[in-house]
Amino acid sequence: MNRLAGIIFASVGFVVAVLSVTKVVHGLTGTGIVMILAGGLIIGLSFISRPDTEGTERMSTVSTLGNIFFAPSEVFKNLRRHPRFLVAMLIMTILSGTYANLFLYRVGADKVANFAIDKTLEISFMNDDAKKRVEEGRPQAIADNKDPVIKSGQVVGSFAGSFFGYAFLALLFLLVTMAMGGQINFMQAFSAAVYATFPVSVLRFILNTTILFIKPDPDQIHPILGQQSLIQDNLNFLVLSSEHPVIFTILGSISVLLFYWIWMIATGVKNAGEKVSGSIAWSAALIVYSLLILLGVTFAFLFPGFIS
């Protein structure tokens, strides 16, 4: 990554945080802090050496974004010599932000905010003072959910935060590969993490947006779960989330799109690395899958109300 870009990104984040803290703008302190941290990460990534191109011609960005759907192995092999990810991350962030705002438009910003607050008040380990503060903040939470500046800030914050998510995946791929005797550069692993996610993100956006507007009654859409996905490509329809939240979550992990993502991860790690066998690549992918299930089950166990 360009070191200058990281400095600029962090500097803008600092300005946003200061303006928010001094009340010049409202609700962007978190966004500014995340931008500062992401800028620092970008600066750190700029010090990581790139792999030798070995004379391999760089695939154009347009070809990379298109071929990842039809010839992923070839794309990942090219990323092995020319790792990159910025454009794909930008597109995924724009798609995610677009769907989030379309969801609020279709379902209703008030309904989404009130539902989240009501479920927060149902958390058993919250004391009366905490519940009182949450209730007092209801009007502001609803207003924030309609504020275009705050919603834009959330999209920027999401882009900045995604750097840390992909950095974690890249580190995981790197450690698993090294532990099993393979070889992969951190930038290669980062590129594999991003481009393995890209086609899934695009397909999810298209399907979710289509379902969002063909549903005849928006009241049938879950205000929390619907923000994540409206696609019924898993087995969680077999149980009621209100009665069996943990089982509901586990069955939800048996998903066509999720399996596609796991396969893309294995394909990416295998072909983006220098010396990565299929068993190493699949080990990394299955570890990611296991961590997702563990995270989902933990959330369902601690906060069952949010998925009921």
| Whole-angstrom distance, CA of residue 130 vs CA of residue 155 | 28
| Whole-angstrom distance, CA of residue 283 vs CA of residue 277 | 10
Q: Which residues contact 121 (CB under 8 A, 6 or more apart)?
A: 131, 134, 135
User: pLDDT per residue over 214-273, tens digit each?
Assistant: 988 888 888 888 998 999 999 998 998 888 989 999 999 999 999 999 999 999 999 999
| Whole-angstrom distance, CA of residue 36 vs CA of residue 42 | 10
The secondary element (H helix, E strand) that includes residue 124 is: none
Q: What is the domain partition of the chain in residue ranges?
A: 69-307
User: What would the DSSP string read from start to end of 204-221?
Assistant: HHHHHHHHHHH-S-GGGS
DSSP 8-state class, residue 275:
B
User: pLDDT per residue over 45-72, tens digit each?
Assistant: 888 888 888 888 999 999 999 999 999 9
| Whole-angstrom distance, CA of residue 115 vs CA of residue 1 | 40
CB atoms near residue 218 (< 10 Å): 16
